[in-house]
Amino acid sequence: MAALNISIGGESFRRLREENRCYVDKTGFIEELISSTQAMVSLITRPRRFGKTLNMTMLQEFFDIRRESRALFEGLGVSRNAELCEKWMNRYPTLFMTFKGVEGQNFKDSLIHFRETAVNLCGEHAYLLESEKVSRENKAMLQRVLDRQAEPAELAAVLQTLCRALEAHWGQPAILLIDEYDVPINYAEQNGYYKEMIGFMRALLGSALKTNFSLKFAVLTGCLRIARESIFTGLNNFKCYGISDVQFADKFGFTVAEIDDLLSQAGFSDKKALLKKWYDGYRFGDRSEIYCPWDVLLYLDDLQHNASAQPQAYWNNTSGNAIVRTLINRAGDDIKDKIERLIAGEAIEEELAESLTYDIVYESESNIWTMLYLTGYLTKAAEQPEGANTALVIPNKEVRQIFISTVSKWFNESLQKQDLSRFVQALWDGNAEAVQNTLTDFLYDTISYFDSAENYYHGFMSGLLRGAGLNVKSNREHGLGRSDLLIEDGRRRRALIIELKIAPEYEELEAKAEEGLKQIEERRYEAGLGPQIRKVVSYGIAFWKKESFVKVKESAR
């Protein structure tokens, strides 16, 4: 057993290797990429937090002619391929550019962020300004970028200009690596400047990838495959490798064998079943079990500090989960049914369109399901139907928690828009029929999940009562036990005591409601009420799926 020297969020291959940090060997990506370079441009899409940036910095270290990288790759898989290393390692000028920070509330702000990214890239290659082999025109262009004087059209040509200058200086065509290429487009769609950004990106990528004779090859990564006609118009030698493709299927995310090795190194092999339940389940290409590396490393780091640490939904904290919320906000009866089935561990069948543009994601239900699939909230089921549809499931417990928490928040917010005054009045009046009808109506209107039926219905009732403006006390000890829900109205000297029960069958609803009412009496929950309370309305409420049954008893003190 040895402590893993984990770097949380580490995306620099060089730093991980130089600092002897935990690194899962993905250098097979280099060999597979080189064997697949029939395409001048390779676009690889994966969900967030699956190691895209780390793999791209690895490529940069391997190919970049300015570096000496043999020590970094010593002991890794690719180093055993001596012929490949001799031919490719540190042989080509290499540009690495990430678009992660190219965002803004408007196009002007986004362009400022891109300009700064371009300034940093040109600054990294400022030696080109002193090269006698680089043309005056290219030098002047790069200088304008560095001086922040370049016009938008010149910024859109910066990658092509750099490639030309690099080839002139080094005598070799350049390799271009663009990380998170779709981030600017995503922000543009969210903030209303999609057309301007698409125009800029089309010019940028067109000059860099289509009319660039100084390009050896290019690799782009992102979450979503943008339709070719949107920004890749006229690009012929182009290949997209999405999560359904077999190429690179095991090069992003951790495989079962890699998980076994990590757990063995750290001495936590007994946690394998727990890791699988929480973070496994992704299906990329022909690989049926891929783990999210971000979650695995965070959990292992927690375990190294606290051996009894429990898994968390770490992935949930890296994004606002807007796509899940949008789906839930749009939910009609059909979508509600599908979400409930997914949370219950079942599969739904949808027709997917893996080539989307961000501006049409929310135009149809099919597009939203596609987006959920491409961004990792859903994955392919083990068994697939015949025909055009794809069977989709929630991959693991972590993502299931994201769905449940989003549903809960949506439900609580929706209650704030409801007039629940009649429901409250029915409760205080002891009107069992009206209370029952209201509860059943809400159960059918909301999105249900029955991971733990008792917890679900408890949360449902608590949310409903709090949404009605009542001060709810949950599981409060009084009398000879703990009542599920208690509301005391001291000013009006009255109280509600509610005991919840789960019926295993529809036919047992009434009996279970009676059982709840009897429990309130036998355990003398009233005894724990304040002396000012004069009227007590007790409820035994039973649930079976989306049906309820209510029993009531009033008493005076």
pLDDT digits (tens, 9 = 90+) for 486-533: 999 989 999 999 999 999 999 999 999 999 999 999 998 988 788 899
pLDDT for the residue 317: 57
pLDDT band per the 50, 70, 90 thresholds, residue 158: very high
Better pLDDT: 10 or 80: 80
Looking at residue 202, its amino acid is R
pLDDT for the residue 73: 98
pLDDT in tens, 330-350: 778 888 899 999 999 999 999
List, in sequence order, the alpha helices (H) in 416-481: 421-429, 432-445, 453-467
pLDDT in tens, 4-62: 899 988 899 999 999 999 999 999 999 999 986 678 999 999 998 999 999 999 999 99
pLDDT band per the 50, 70, 90 thresholds, residue 266: very high
First to last CA, the chain: 65
- Across the range 432-446, mean pLDDT stands at 93
What are the extents of the domains in the chain?
25-241, 319-406, 418-556
pLDDT for the residue 477: 57
pLDDT in tens, 341-379: 999 999 999 998 767 767 777 778 888 898 899 889 999
* Strands (E) located in 258-325: 282-284, 287-290
Report phi then psi at 389, rounded to 5: -75, 155
d(Cα 484, Cα 543) in Å, to the nearest integer?
Answer: 14
Options 3.40.50, 1.10.10, 3.90.220, 1.20.120; CATH of 25-241: 3.40.50
Q: 459: which residues sit within 8 A by CB, 6+ positions away?
A: 408
pLDDT for the residue 367: 84
pLDDT for the residue 352: 87
CA 119 from chain centre, in angstroms, equals 31
Average pLDDT, whole number, for the chain?
91
pLDDT for the residue 91: 97
Using alpha carbons, select from 192, 220, 233 the residue that is nearest to residue 359: 192
pLDDT for the residue 325: 80
Let me know: does 177 contact 110? Beta carbons within 8 Å: no
- Across the range 426-452, mean pLDDT stands at 91
Q: What is the pTM of this model?
A: 0.87
- Across the range 278-289, mean pLDDT stands at 92
pLDDT for the residue 189: 86
pLDDT for the residue 2: 65
d(Cα 517, Cα 508) in Å, to the nearest integer?
Answer: 15
pLDDT for the residue 37: 61
CA distances for 152 relative to 101, 148, 149, 162, 234, angstroms: 18, 11, 10, 16, 22
Lowest mean pLDDT among 29-43, 65-79, 384-398: 29-43
Tell me, which fold does domain 418-556 have in CATH? Trna Endonuclease; Chain: A, domain 1 (3.40.1350)
- Across the range 151-176, mean pLDDT stands at 97
Instruction: Identify the burial level of 383 via C-beta atoms within 10 angstroms of its C-beta, where 0-12 means exposed, 13-18 middle and 19 or more buried.
Output: exposed
d(Cα 79, Cα 266) in Å, to the nearest integer?
Answer: 25
